[in-house]
Chains A and B, each alone.
Chain A
Amino acid sequence: DAGVTQTPRHEVAEKGQTIILKCEPVSGHNDLFWYRQTKIQGLELLSYFRSKSLMEDGGAFKDRFKAEMLNSSFSTLKIQPTEPKDSAVYLCASSLGLGDEQYFGPGTRLTVL
């Protein structure tokens, strides 16, 4: 079985650019999550979808971060415009449903110069 895939694995952006990160969840999973991981802040939830509907949008990340799930097998996270403080690892995860384990992708390491 294919796990969660994320592309690109590494991204370097100039301040002010728009970047789009991509995620394909495990086939058949209903829930999809986007997280940001940094050493200082730890794991922060950016977005949570259930059956393609946005359940949570991570509050503080609303203004420049936008996650979309156009179909059940593909999601994007757009950051516009990027800032140096956005440098982090962005993780996508999916799960079958309530109370089921989350499967994490390998992550995208974003560096904003």
Chain B
Amino acid sequence: GEKVEQHESTLSVREGDSAVINCTYTDTASSYFPWYKQEAGKSLHFVIDIRSNVDRKQSQRLIVLLDKKAKRFSLHITATQPEDSAIYFCAASMEGNNRIFFGDGTQLVVKP
């Protein structure tokens, strides 16, 4: 089955800097790549996604890039704020299947 790997288990940045979280996947059939955020003591919630028909998507300070050839995708958070501190999970799923495969999560710490 699909395997999603997150390269950074922890990431620390200064407030105002950009943060980049990188993920890779193994199955070329994967076509949908969502990102979820989990704040301390809370459950996961969706933040942004990208589908395989585009290679870039932006929502306010969040940018997702997709490189299908390299089977790699990344989340860029610009102008980080303390409230961005959380665990971020990347995920992948295939066309016609709603099951998503999660990475292990990246703990982002934004220092004031």
Binding site for B on A (CB under 8 A): 31, 33, 42-43, 45, 48, 50, 55-56, 91, 93, 95, 97-107
Closest to B34 in A: A101
Q: Give 11 pairs: A residue, B residue, CB < 8 Å, sorted on A.
A: A42-B102, A42-B103, A48-B98, A48-B99, A93-B44, A97-B98, A99-B93, A101-B46, A102-B36, A102-B100, A103-B46
Interface of A is mostly: strand
Q: With A101-B34, A101-B49 in contact, is A107–B43 under 8 Å at CB?
A: yes
Contacts of A45 in B (CB 8 A): 99
- What is the minimal beta-carbon distance from A70 to any residue of chain B, in angstroms? 20
The answer to whether A43 touches B89, judged by C-beta atoms less than 8 angstroms apart, is yes
C-alpha spacing A33/B105, complex, angstroms = 19
B84 at the interface (CB under 8 A from A): no
For the complex of A and B, the 10 pairs showing the least CB-CB separation, nearest first, are A101-B46, A43-B102, A104-B43, A104-B44, A42-B104, A31-B98, A106-B43, A99-B32, A98-B98, A107-B43
Please name all residues of chain A whose beta carbon is closer than 8 Å to the beta carbon of B46 when the two chains form the complex: 101-103
* Given A43-B89, A102-B46, A104-B45, 9 other A-B residues pairs in contact with their CB atoms under 8 A: A42-B103, A45-B99, A48-B99, A50-B98, A55-B99, A99-B51, A101-B46, A104-B36, A106-B43
A75–B83 alpha-carbon span in the complex (Å): 33
